Amino acid sequence: MQPYLSCKSPNAPRASVIRYSPTELKIPETDSQLYSHYNPGQTTVPLHSRLWPNCIYQRHRPQNITNMCTPHDSTVTLIKPEVNRQTDIPLAELRSTSSGLSFYYLGARVYIGLTCMTGACVLQTEDGEEENPLESSTSLELEFVDDPNFKNKVNYSSSAVQIPTDIYKGSPVILNELNWTQALERVFIENRKEDSSLRWQVFGSATGVTRYYPATPWRAPNKIDLYDVRRRPWYIQGASSPKDMVIIVDVSGSVSGLTLKLMKTSVIEMLDTLSDDDYVNVARFNEKADAVVPCFKTLVQANVRNKKIFKDAVMHMQAKGTTDYKSGFTFAFEQLLNSSAPRANCNKMIMMFTDGGEDRAQEVFEKYNWPNKTVRVFTFSVGQHNYDVTPLQWIACANKGYYFEIPSIGAIRINTQEYLDVLGRPMVLAGPKAKQVQWTNVYQDALGLGLVITGTMPVFNLTADTNQLILGVMGVDIAINEIKKKTPTYRLGANGYTFAIDPNGYVLLHPNLRPKIINFREPVTLDFLDAEMEDNNKEEIRRQMIDGRSGQRKIKTLIKSVDERYIDESWRTYTWTPPSPAPLSLLPPLDNLPVSVADFESLLPNSFESEGHVFIAPREYCNDLELSNNNTEFLLNFIALMEKVTPDSKQCDNLLLHNLILDTGIIRQLVEKVWKNKDLNTYGFLAVFAATDGGVTRVFPNKAAETWEEDPEPFNASFYRRSLDNKGYIFRAPYRTDEFLNPENDTIGILVSTAVEITVGGKTVKPAVVGVKLDLEAWVDKFKILASNQTDRQGTNQVQYNCGPNRPCEMDCEAHSDDLVCYLVDDGGFLIMSNQKEDWNKVGMFFSEVDPYLMYALYNNSFFNRKESYDYQSVCERIPNSEAGAGPRSVFVPTIADFVNIAWWTSAAIFIFFNFILVVHFSYSVFCVMTDVEAADSVDSKERSCVMVQTQYYLTNLTSSYNILQDCGNCSRLIHAKRLNNTNLLFVVAEKLLCNSCEIERLSQEQEECILFTENTSDCGRGYSFRPSLYSLLLIQLLLLYPALSPYAPSLTH
């Protein structure tokens, strides 16, 4: 069969087809010639071993070849046949830019040519038929099945492909990529057979094609699908080595309007190509250069937080002055050559964005970069202009860089990431030495797996020494939840945990890694010191872990409670070691215990009436156990599974099951021998309860479970973990704020808990927490009696305290409730009890909201300490975008002479009026042009990620009784306070405040957004200099001019 190559002239009718036989073309036998020309009447065809896109960018072609997108370009590219390949991949391709000539064998169909006109490509068969290759009958109908491991519907017999929206899917390059990567499917399937725990296996191509296994329907992260694998964190980290980058931006007066907007967007896109392994700084230049963020004196780590600061500063750049390349490059080289600052110390580069210029800054390069050329320089010509770009091309070529053009919005994304191919060349030349697995930061999986880390490895083209290309990056995902399942969570106790950090100090695994909003384009980064309450010892632990050393240290540190209301000072033992390929076993040997299904039947609801309600922690006791948030449903699933398997089965966690069985029996005996024989109402108890480390929580009586709001997993319950960290009885009231107060007829329960201590082998263990729920109304009366100041009880005298210096009454909370206020306040500063009935519905509120003067006095007299903690994963309401872009002409500051000069007022008014008109019309036009780009980064949610600061209060170690006189100027107040032994309570008695003249700091525990202030808020923060309203200025000027221009105005001439 003789295949024909068809070619259509761009101006010819669609039916007009010119046919050539392959024998009429003389094809070179070697690959020595990279490019040549094929013009009518000549027989030489350019030869290359790789397919190129229809539009070949500047760096892919010699200068004498015109833009490959031009319809009249006669250049033809031929792909060398690879006859040893399978018949389902391209055997050869011959195309011109006007018609995209090619022929393929796709399955059983023979396609003679690929014709592309006005963006549409059709394949031509021998009989002249045409069809779209992407819509041909060769496509497969796949069946997908739900797989909980992937949280998605998948097909294990095939892989799937995603192609970015802005890449033409019918391009020969893409079609070739689809065919040769098809061979990966077999490898993916074999990998899964060897290790069934593998999740997504992905190959990201340098052309933008993503092939992933197993196949699943693609779902866009946002309404606008801008997914490009080359922008993903795992690809960026795997495709290049660490970088030191300085971005310099031309902000001279010639850069204005749309060009400046394009530059800002380009810089932001460039910043998104950097990872945490890179260091960066951004500077603007005209006659002089300075950093856009003045507080960044040197290169800083390109982490999410720093990049956000850069982006905010870039958006506030304004154009003025003249261009001086020397100032920009001098600033950049001095930044890169500053050895005293931390840096990546690998690839060094300067990225210059400008609209053009004649200067070549040769003397700067001679001074800093020649002859070794250790710094690459990439130049970007931005906007549509008529400047000579030869100097920019020379600057790039003379410093081992590349020159790019960004004439419009559509060119930004592709041109700001092309430099990564250049940086990959040293990795190609390094060969096997560069093939090392790199692990990424935590990030959000695009296919629905949740938070993952990815092991990546670059893929090189090693077919020829001169072809220094990275073909792409291979990646294998590991879900964070899968790692958690492998850690000994329940063997470390409720307050123990496992964590891991990467070489940058960011946590890969930590119980406090809980991002509320995830930016799909960025990794989830949380430093170890930000994940916990800061401590000097933890800084040393972090340093040793980064250095790969092992160690152990016992430190006393502050711990924030699960509900974020309390801070406890407790001892923690940290043990760390670098990862080891050898398996590590933490499981102790277990004795076999006799178990039957009957041991679990007492947990069912039908036994609750007499023995109390049971909550079982939803742990993965067995692999096949179906978890449920409904406790009854989970119990039924659990018992049904126990009828099929034994606790000693290999698919079950023996330790968890045996602990559950043991705790179930112990708690049942507690109910039968103790709780059933007590009248709870006599003691003022609403309920009694017990929670164990085996995962059992039993509440008695049964009806008390209806109002039980604690987590069924004891390890996640605040009362459980705080009881283990503290000695004695821990009181806690239900949390209340001003926005939500208890109805007067609602019963308020005060939770009181304490840990059960048992000594085994000379060591103290705490296997359970027991407690009661107090009826507030019943216990207030008891509280008044206990707080009374009666004398001569049982023949002993008690110390009497007077109400105050001005009143002779005794300090008795029961007898003098009209004059005295008596409170029980817990160690976090929350109200537990009061002798004032109007305060009962405020129980659980922060004490400063009940009595701000009294709380301030307690803090000011060192009864309470406070600690600020920061939440770097919090959520705030989205703030409308501030004005950005090139602003109007800077405001002129008039002198006194100007104020009395009518001519000045007239000219100023005219200038402002025209300035106003221009700003309104042209800024609106520019905004409309940029809407599509800004929409790409917009988020439908009304929320945004932010940093919140919260102040927690905790009791000091004061144990004595103290009297305080609070002086409020025209009145005073006596306060008596004492820490109650073996509890977390502070007993406070005070006179009712008769005046409100005290000026105090109103204390608060509520979270609020943290605004980072720096030495220059106009560049480092959101705030910037005050700008007058043009509307207001115009109105003021016209009002001032009216008397002078009015025909009734008095003459100013003499």
Q: Where on the phi/psi map is residue 1006: left (φ > 0), alpha (ψ -120 to 50), or beta?
A: beta
CB-count burial class (<10 Å; 0-12, 13-18, 19+) for 998? middle
Q: Is there a contact between 553 and 572 (Cβ–Cβ < 8 Å)?
A: no
Note the pLDDT of residue 223: 66
Span 920-943, average pLDDT? 43
Amino acid at residue number 980: L
Q: How confident is the model at residue 997 (pLDDT cuts 50, 70, 90)?
A: low
Element (H, E) at 37: none
| pLDDT score, position 211 | 94
Give all strands (DSSP E) within 613-701, no chain letters: 613-616, 685-692, 696-700
Regarding predicted confidence, which is higher, 431 or 47?
431
Determine the Cα–Cα distance for residues 719 and 798; give it in Å rounded to an integer: 35
Which DSSP category does 490 fall into?
G
At 788 the pLDDT is 65
Quick check: pTM over 0.85? no
Please give the pLDDT value at position 46: 34
The predicted pLDDT at position 429 comes to: 67
- In this structure, are strands 145-147 and 152-154 parallel, antiparallel, or unpaired? antiparallel
**Residue in 869, 865, 949 with CA at minimum distance from that of residue 532:** 869
Q: Is residue 289 very low, low, confident or very high in pLDDT (cuts 50, 70, 90)?
A: very high
Name the DSSP letter for residue 1054: -
Per-residue pLDDT band at 239 (split at 50, 70, 90): confident
Per residue in 325-360, pLDDT tens?
999 999 999 999 888 788 888 889 999 999 988 889
Q: Which amino acid is at 141?
A: E
Say yes or no to pLDDT of 4 above 50: no
**CA 72 to the chain's CA centroid:** 48
Task: Let me know: does 258 contact 252? Beta carbons within 8 Å.
Answer: no
Token pair of 903 as six digits = 């001519």
CA dihedral 33, 38, 39, 43 (to 10 degrees): 90
Arithmetic mean of pLDDT over the chain = 73
Range in 34-38, 773-777, 921-925 the model is least confident about: 34-38
Could you please report the per-residue DSSP string of 793-837? BTTB-----EEETTEEEE--TTTTTTTEEEEEEETTSBEEEES-G
Which tokens in the block code for residue 54?
A: 């229809």
870-924 confidence digits (pLDDT tens): 888 888 887 665 444 433 333 344 443 443 444 434 444 444 444 444 433 433 3
**How many CA within 13 A on the CB side of residue 34?**
8
Helices (H) and strands (E) in the chain, counts: 27, 46
Please write down the long-range contacts of 551-556, taking CB distance under 8 Å and 24 or more positions apart: 551/575, 551/576, 552/576
Q: How far apart are the first and last CA of the chain?
A: 106
DSSP state of 983: B
- Percent pLDDT > 90 in the chain is 22
Position 130 scores a pLDDT of 44
Closest to 378 (Cα-Cα) out of 416, 335, 333, 424:
416
Residue 881, CA distances (Å) to 316, 358, 522, 544, 1030 in order:
11, 36, 20, 42, 19
With 50 as the cut, is the pLDDT of residue 208 above it? yes
Rounded to 10 degrees, the C-alpha dihedral 989/992/995/999 comes to: 30
Q: How confident is the model at residue 99 (pLDDT cuts 50, 70, 90)?
A: very low
Beta carbons within 10 angstroms of residue 469's beta carbon: 17
Q: Return the number of other C-beta atoms located less than 10 Å from residue 690's C-beta.
A: 23
**CA 136, CA 104: separation in Å to the nearest integer?**
13
DSSP state of 1051: P
The percentage of the chain sitting over the pLDDT mark of 70, rounded to a whole number, equals 67
State how far the Cα of 625 lies from the Cα of 185, in Å rounded to an integer: 33
Task: Sort strands 985-991 and 820-826 into parallel, antiparallel or unpaired.
Answer: antiparallel
Parallel, antiparallel, or unpaired for β 438-439 and 451-461? antiparallel
Residues 6+ apart with CB under 8 A from 490: 619, 655, 656, 659, 693, 695, 715
For residue 423, give every residue at least 6 positions away whose Cβ sits within 8 Å of its Cβ, in sequence order, or none: 239, 240, 241, 243, 347, 349
